[in-house]
Amino acid sequence: MLITLPDLLPREEARAYRTALAQARWLDGRQTAGHVASRVKANRQLALGDPLARRIGQRIVQALQGDPVFQSAVLPARILPPRFNRYEGGEHYGFHIDNALFRRPDDAGLIRCDVSTTVFFSDPDDYDGGELVVQDTYGEQRVKLPAGAAVIYPGTSLHQVTPVTRGVRLGAFFWTQSLVRDDHRRSLLLQQDVAIQRLINDRAESEIIAGLTGVYHNLLRLWADPT
């Protein structure tokens, strides 16, 4: 399930972050790649403890906490602090699947990477190439969004970033451990939630809404793993 968040951050705020990120100190992205991924990865990243990365990352997490689509679609249990990357001059990241587990920066254990998220800071006209290409059950999907927008997709997806042949592509990426690890089950819960919200907006009978809400929570009770 691939879902876009078109206005996660206000456009002007995202562009201000882009200006700050353009002047940051970037490192070879292969330093954070595993043995297999390092063979197809050619980009740059901010150091995990970089103050700018920490500040913008905290703002992203704050925005996610107030985004109803993210909350409903992802059912987040834990969010790994966002990381930041830069692509230019032909840099790219070939097809790969993200690691299943990452260690939390506070060394408080591991986080399971159920859902991947990319936040865009460069506008599509700022660069050529650089599409996020995700392969899922509906085929290959290509994503290139305006500054401040984000896309979420299953961490199990095979995906890549195509070479950037002009300009600079700046973005953030991170992973979330969901209360419901299975993507299909999360999708069913999202559909149920959307249907309930439409019934509420249409002022359907309260008994119908209560019944469907009960089914939603009973499914969540059955499938959720809060540990």
Chain segment 180-199, per-residue pLDDT in tens: 999 999 999 999 999 999 99
Are the C-beta atoms of 148 and 10 separated by less than 8 Å?
Answer: yes
Residue 36: predicted pLDDT: 64
Residue 214's pLDDT is what? 96
CB 61 within 8 A of CB 55: no
Q: Report the chain's mean pLDDT, rounded to a whole number.
A: 93
**Chain center to CA of 54:** 17
Per-residue pLDDT at 32: 67
Checking if the pLDDT of 39 tops 90, the result is: no
User: Which pLDDT score, from 0 to 100, does residue 37 have?
Assistant: 62
Residue 155, number of CB atoms within 10 A of its CB: 22
- pLDDT tens per residue across span 103-119: 888 777 899 999 999 99
Return phi, psi of residue 174, to 5°.
-170, 175
The pLDDT assigned to 35 comes to: 60
Percentage of residues in the chain with pLDDT exceeding 90?
A: 83
85 and 48 in contact (C-beta within 8 Å)? no
How far is residue 142's CA from residue 130's CA, in Å, rounded to a whole number? 10
pLDDT tens digits, 50-62:
999 999 999 999 9
C-beta atoms surrounding 190 within 10 Å: 17
Q: How far is CA 162 from CA 22, 89, 211, 217, in A?
A: 20, 12, 46, 40
Go through the domains of the chain in sequence order and give each one's CATH number: 3-178 (2.60.120.620), 183-223 (4.10.860.20)
pLDDT at 202: 85
Q: Tokens for 54?
A: 């920490």
Residue 21 backbone class (left: φ over 0; alpha: ψ -120 to 50; beta: rest): alpha
- For residues 65 and 203, give the distance between their C-alpha atoms in angstroms, rounded to a whole number: 27
Predicted pLDDT of residue 101: 94
Distance between CA atoms of 184 and 9, rounded to whole angstroms?
28
Residues in Cβ contact with 36 at an 8 Å cutoff, skipping those fewer than 6 apart: 96
- The structure's pTM equals 0.93
Tokens coding 113: 């990477």
One-letter amino acid at 124 equals: P
For range 122-134, the mean pLDDT = 97
Region of poorest pLDDT, from 73-82, 130-139, 168-177: 130-139
Instruction: Say whether pLDDT at 48 is over 90.
Output: no
